[in-house]
Each structure stands twice: as C-alpha cells, then as structure tokens.
Chain A
Amino acid sequence: MNRTRIIAALLGCMCFAPLMAQNSLRVAAAADLGPVLPPILAKFEQATGIHTEVTFQASAALTTLIENGAPFDLFLAADLGYPQRLLAAGLAEAPGAADAKQPITYAEGTLVLWALKGSHLPAPSLDLLRSPDLKRLAIANPDRAPYGKAAVSALRSLGLYEALQPKFVTAENIAQAAQFAGSGNADAGLISLTSALTAQMSSTGSYFVMPRESYPPIEQGMVVIKSSTHKDAARKLLDYLLSAPVQAQLGKSGLTPVH
C-alpha cells in the first residue's frame, strides 16, 4: 500500500513538473526567422536574464498549434494574416499597438531567387526564370506560406506564372524550399532573403532580389498569446525586437526594418 502511494506521488510530481519548469519564454517563430532570431534572443537573455525557447515552423503550422492550445507566449509570423486570425478568434492580443485589432509589424520580408553556383543555367535573374532549361523551381506552398503567396504574386505580375507553374516543386516552408534548391534537386528556388544570406546558402549559390513592386509587401507581424502566463516577459521581448539596434540587426540579416 505504501509503495503504491509513493509511486502515485512520484507520477503526480512528474505531471506537474513541466508546468513548474516553464520559466522560459516560449516563442513561436516563422521559418524564415530561423537564421535570424537565435543571436538576437541570446543578446536578449544577456540583457534581461529572460531565457527563451523558440520553435521554428511554417506560420500556418504554428497557427494551428496555437489554436489547439499549444503553450506559446509570443508568435512571430511571416505575414499579418495568421496573427490576425488569432486576434479575431480572441486567442491573441497586440499590446501597445495603435490598433489593438492588428498585429504589430516587426519587419518586412524580401523575396529572392536563389540558385547553386556553377550550373549550366543563367545566373539568378529574370533571364533565369525565362530560361527553358529551368526545369524545376522550388517555392513555399502558395496556399499557406506568406513567401509562397508573394512568389506567385511576383510571377503573375511579371507575366511568368503560366510558364512556370508546371515547374513548381512545392515545399512546406521557406526552409524546405531552400533545401530543395540547395541540394540541387530543384534548379532554383524563390526563398527569403534571410535564408539566402546564411553561410551555407551564400557560399554555395547566389541570389537575385525579385523586383520589389512585383509583389505586395511581406509585412511580418507578431502577437502575444492570450493564455500566456508570461505576458510581461513577452512584452519586454516585443519592445526589444522593435528597438533600434535590433531592427538594424534584422536589416543586416535580410529583413527590412519597420522604423
């Protein structure tokens, strides 16, 4: 009898342990922030002592997780639509924003065309997109990935969509699109500037910035999750991301600052 009680108590403690252990700030971040966020968060911890844990996935996937109760504190999306969805559902809030119904924009994304060096194809440019030798073009899923939607807009406004659509290979997110192009399985990829600037990608290939006017701005927004128990810490991070030095850092990494 005694032994059973001890075991039950231990199991009970184990169940509660995770709840007690959540002293870190949990951040859900879009895939294109993968190369960008970790050093910023490290500096944040140094400055404030607040430890963060990040999950990088497609914005759509993260939204689904949050809708189903995943315990995130802050959501950094690659567009405004997904955070808006959470706001409308009452699952998130945008503290300190001029319009509390809108997510807080923290940066703007840039779409680039990237390809491996040394292939027989033209270097990344509109000519590459027009080349008949381009057999496979990697893009993030246009149904749900912000950069994928931007890619389709860009191609449409450049009059290249009909010709290129049959050549699409669709990736789950920007990171996977970069992987498809980076491994040479796709001849080129429409990816984020943040991915193109990583050491891996910049050493093995080159990129071309897609004409800015050809697609609507990729405004990336963030929101605090309503059910969060660390709202103060989340706000601190939010303000930190909007501060001048961090914005400058984002600029260097391939995102356009908002201030």
Chain B
Amino acid sequence: MDWQAFALSLRLAAVTTAILIAIAVPLAGLLVLGRGRWLAVVEALSTLPLVLPPTVLGFFLLVLLGPRTFVGREIAALFGHPLAFSFEGLVVGSVIYSLPFAVQPLVAGFASVRPPLVDAARLLGAGPVRLVLRLLLPLSRRSLLTAAVLSFLHTVGEFGVVLMLGGDIPGATRTLSIVLYNQVENFNYQAAMRTAGLLIAMSVTALAFLYAEAQRHGARGGRQR
C-alpha cells in the first residue's frame, strides 16, 4: 500500500477543501443576495466544471497556463515553477474542478433562510459581509458540512486532471487514484484491488459521517419564528 500516495491524496483534498470553502462562501452569498442579470452568468460559470471533461481542464492548465503563454509565465514567476507537475498545479485544478460541489450546497442553504430574517438583519444595519457571516452561514451549517465533505471526496477521487498534468511524481502528484491506475496498467490487479478498496472505504466513511450528522440535526431542524 502506497501510504505516501494516500497521504498526498488526503493533503490535496484538505487543502482544496479549505480553499474552496473560502471561495464558495462569499460566492454563494453573492449569488443569493445579489441583484442583476450578470449573476446568472456567474452561476453558470461556477457550475461549468460539472460538465467540463477533465481532459479539457487539464489541457487548459497545461497549455494555456504553461510557460509559453504570458499568464503562464507570470504564474511560474509567482510559484517559482510552472503549474504542471506540481502540487500547486493539482490544487488549482482541483479547486476549479470541485467548485460546483462547494457552491451548490451553500447556495441552497443560504437561499432557504427565510426572507423575513434577511430583511430584519438588513434593517439592523447588516451589510453583505455580516449577512453572510452572522446570519446565512450559522443557519446553513448542514450545507456547509455537505459542501466540505463533497469537495473533499470529489478531490480524493480526482483522476483526469491529475493524469493530464501530474507527471506522476511521488510525493507531489502521484495521488492514490494515479497509483490505482498505474497498478491496473501494469497488470498488477491484486494491488489494484487493495488500492481501490482503500479509496472506496474512505468515501463510504466520509459519506456515512455526513449522513449521520444530517440525521442528528434533523430533529432539531431549525424552527424559525
């Protein structure tokens, strides 16, 4: 069992999830509280990765953000190396790829907060930041948990993007899903079964935890007067 790859997958998922929550909370706030037709475009863009083939995303990151383009060179200057074949590159790819899994649950949660509460908070002087942090987020704890768990799991299972720009570097880009792929491609089916088993176990555990939490809070519901 490649524990280095296991640790790398966990680290990638954790870092990606943290960044995603930091991006998705304000983005969801904007989508729910904002006005204007351009919001539909923003929402479409944030949902786009769901239908984007990972190979397209990988290509985009590899070529369009590679050292032959201006943007790519700036990024390389920022990180000290090009995005491809690096942990940072995988994080960027994962954040884009799992964005909808973080944004959608939060938007649903925020939108379910009853309008009289939002009105009351606005009248008491709350601007958008206070509205999101002190009203919408505390009343959407379950959505936040869902967003975090889904982003985490989606990143653990990520493969297409990693294959496109990972370079299979142990400790940096050789994630557990790449290990599984290598094992299958090298006809090492026994090891592949074990790796697949570990991946499945991780997913089931995380989802079971999520649903257990959901059940626990279900009774308390959040009765709003």
A and B touch in the complex (CB under 8 A): yes
Q: How far apart are the CA atoms of A170 and B178 in the complex, in Å?
A: 12
Distance (whole angstroms) from the CB of B180 to the closest CB of chain A: 14
B89 closest partner in A (C-beta): A185
The answer to whether B184 touches A169 (Cβ under 8 A) is: no
Which residues of chain A have C-beta atoms less than 8 A from B66's C-beta? 183-185
Q: Tell me if A61 counts as interface (CB < 8 A to partner B).
A: yes
Stretch at the interface among A37-45, A136-144, A192-200, A211-219: A136-144
* B35-70 contact mask (Cβ, 8 Å, vs A): 1 or 0: 000000000000000000000000000110011100
Assess A170 versus B82: contact at CB under 8 Å? Given A60-B185, A185-B66.
no
Distance (whole angstroms) from the CB of B213 to the closest CB of chain A: 39
A-B contact count (CB 8 A): 59
Q: Tell me if B215 counts as interface (CB < 8 A to partner A).
A: no
The answer to whether B168 touches A184 (Cβ under 8 A) is: no
Which residues of chain A have C-beta atoms less than 8 A from B182's C-beta? 141, 143
Q: Tell me if A172 counts as interface (CB < 8 A to partner B).
A: yes
Which residues of chain B have C-beta atoms less than 8 A from A172's C-beta? 163
* B77-94 contact mask (Cβ, 8 Å, vs A): 1 or 0: 000011111000000000
Which of A58, A61, A138, A183 has the most C-beta atoms of chain B within 10 angstroms of its own C-beta?
A183
The answer to whether A171 touches B167 (Cβ under 8 A) is: yes
The answer to whether B62 touches A179 (Cβ under 8 A) is: yes
The answer to whether B167 touches A180 (Cβ under 8 A) is: yes
Distance (whole angstroms) from the CB of B62 to the closest CB of chain A: 6
Q: How far apart are the CA atoms of A142 and B23 in the complex, in Å?
A: 39
The answer to whether B85 touches A186 (Cβ under 8 A) is: yes
Which residues of chain A have C-beta atoms less than 8 A from B3's C-beta? none
The answer to whether A64 touches B184 (Cβ under 8 A) is: yes
The answer to whether A170 touches B168 (Cβ under 8 A) is: yes
Q: How far apart are the CA atoms of A144 and B188 in the complex, in Å?
A: 12
* A147-186 contact mask (Cβ, 8 Å, vs B): 1 or 0: 0000000000000000000001111100000011001111
Q: How far apart are the CA atoms of A168 and B168 in the complex, in Å?
A: 9
Q: How far apart are the CA atoms of A59 and B62 in the complex, in Å?
A: 24
Which residues of chain B have C-beta atoms less than 8 A from A170's C-beta? 167-169
The answer to whether B82 touches A184 (Cβ under 8 A) is: yes
From A64, A141, A183, B168 is in contact (CB under 8 Å) with A141
Distance (whole angstroms) from the CB of A212 to the closest CB of chain B: 28
B165 closest partner in A (C-beta): A185
The answer to whether A144 touches B81 (Cβ under 8 A) is: no
Distance (whole angstroms) from the CB of B156 to the closest CB of chain A: 21
From B81, B84, B185, A61 is in contact (CB under 8 Å) with B185
Q: Of residues 133 to 179 in B, which have CB atoms within 8 Å of A's CB atoms?
A: 163, 165, 167-169
Q: How far apart are the CA atoms of A112 and B189 in the complex, in Å?
A: 33
Which residues of chain A have C-beta atoms less than 8 A from B85's C-beta? 136, 169, 180, 185-186
Q: How far apart are the CA atoms of A116 and B165 in the complex, in Å?
A: 18
* A121-145 contact mask (Cβ, 8 Å, vs B): 1 or 0: 0000000000000011010010110
Assess A185 versus B82: contact at CB under 8 Å? Given A141-B168, A169-B168, A172-B163.
yes
A145 closest partner in B (C-beta): B185
The answer to whether B62 touches A185 (Cβ under 8 A) is: yes
The answer to whether A183 touches B62 (Cβ under 8 A) is: yes
The answer to whether B81 touches A135 (Cβ under 8 A) is: yes
Which residues of chain A have C-beta atoms less than 8 A from B72's C-beta? 184
The answer to whether A184 touches B67 (Cβ under 8 A) is: yes
Distance (whole angstroms) from the CB of A245 to the closest CB of chain B: 36
Distance (whole angstroms) from the CB of A79 to the closest CB of chain B: 14
Q: How far apart are the CA atoms of A180 and B166 in the complex, in Å?
A: 10
Distance (whole angstroms) from the CB of B61 to the closest CB of chain A: 10
The answer to whether B81 touches A180 (Cβ under 8 A) is: no
A136 closest partner in B (C-beta): B85
B67 closest partner in A (C-beta): A184
What are some 6 contacts across the A-B interface (CB < 8 A)? Answer: A64-B187, A179-B62, A180-B85, A183-B66, A183-B67, A184-B72
15 other A-B residue contacts (CB within 8 Å) besides A138-B167, A184-B72:
A135-B81, A136-B85, A141-B168, A143-B182, A144-B185, A144-B186, A168-B167, A169-B84, A169-B169, A183-B63, A183-B66, A185-B67, A185-B165, A186-B84, A186-B85
Which residues of B are in contact with A by a Cβ distance under 8 Å? 62-63, 66-68, 72, 81-85, 163, 165, 167-169, 182, 184-187
